[in-house]
Chain A
């Protein structure tokens, strides 16, 4: 069973701190990794994609990928209350459809305390 694992949280951080969100995946040959943000009652919104080992930075967000350890993370610097949401990790892997497609973790709920 191909899986994407995330800690459900909630992860609570004070405003201005760094929030660290983690994700592990089971399919060694996965090549594409995504982080989505989902506010309550809304649809997922793409934050970042990463394809190569190492770090990728976009504003306050940094994605980190380690394919050898099958681990991808998202760092949010200078966390704001507006960052409070559920963060979904998505990995391309062979799934129940028989073709490679995005498999989503169940998400980590982040709470940024003012």
Chain B
């Protein structure tokens, strides 16, 4: 495997289900990101893990819960989602040159297309 991989590629779930999205990066990077992309909206940064520090967008609902067990793996745990959470969820990674700076080039995985019924 090369680059950034994500599984599953497609997911359909009911509002009462619990599921997890997985991301793995093979680039030796030290920062990983979750983004949400809804139709006709800009990419929305949800969570960042950089140099073992977790940073989150305060507007992200608590039904989304990230986990980063090491610098190569990132999970997004989903529970009691709403239909408006249907979107493309993208994982990205980068090499942060300095703690607190997320400006380095980010490389994206293929995404998980999530549909909430």
Contact bitstring A70-114, B, C-beta under 8 A = 1, else 0: 000000000000000000101010011111111111110000000
Whether A100 lies near B40 (C-beta < 8 A) is no
**A96-B58, A99-B55 given; A105·B42 CB < 8 A:** yes
Cα distance A49–B58 when bound, in Å? 28
Whether B103 lies near A32 (C-beta < 8 A) is yes
How many Cβ-Cβ contacts under 8 Å join chain A to chain B? 69
Whether B109 lies near A106 (C-beta < 8 A) is no
Neighbouring A residues of B66 by C-beta, 8 Å: none
Asked if A17 is at the interface (CB within 8 A of a chain B CB), the reply is no
Asked if B90 is at the interface (CB within 8 A of a chain A CB), the reply is yes
For chain A, which range describes its interface: under 10, 10 to 19, 20 to 34, or 35 or more residues?
20 to 34
* SS class, residues of chain B in contact with chain A: loop
Whether B59 lies near A96 (C-beta < 8 A) is yes
Asked if B43 is at the interface (CB within 8 A of a chain A CB), the reply is yes
Asked if A66 is at the interface (CB within 8 A of a chain B CB), the reply is no
Task: Return B38 CB to nearest CB of chain A, in Å.
Answer: 11
Cα distance A101–B57 when bound, in Å? 11
What number of B residues sit within 8 Å (CB to CB) of A?
Answer: 27
Whether B103 lies near A102 (C-beta < 8 A) is yes
Minimal Cβ-Cβ distance residue in A for B113 = A41
Neighbouring A residues of B105 by C-beta, 8 Å: 34, 46, 49
Contact bitstring B73-107, A, C-beta under 8 A = 1, else 0: 00000000000000010100000000011111111
Cα distance A98–B36 when bound, in Å? 18
Asked if A60 is at the interface (CB within 8 A of a chain B CB), the reply is no
Whether A42 lies near B110 (C-beta < 8 A) is yes
Minimal Cβ-Cβ distance residue in B for A46 = B105
Using a CB-CB cutoff of 8 Å, which residues 1-49 of chain A contact chain B? 4, 31-32, 34, 36, 41-46, 49
Chain A interface residues toward B at CB < 8 A = 4, 31-32, 34, 36, 41-46, 49, 88, 90, 92, 95-107
Nearest 8 Cβ contacts at the A-B interface: A92-B103, A101-B102, A104-B43, A32-B103, A43-B108, A96-B57, A106-B42, A97-B55
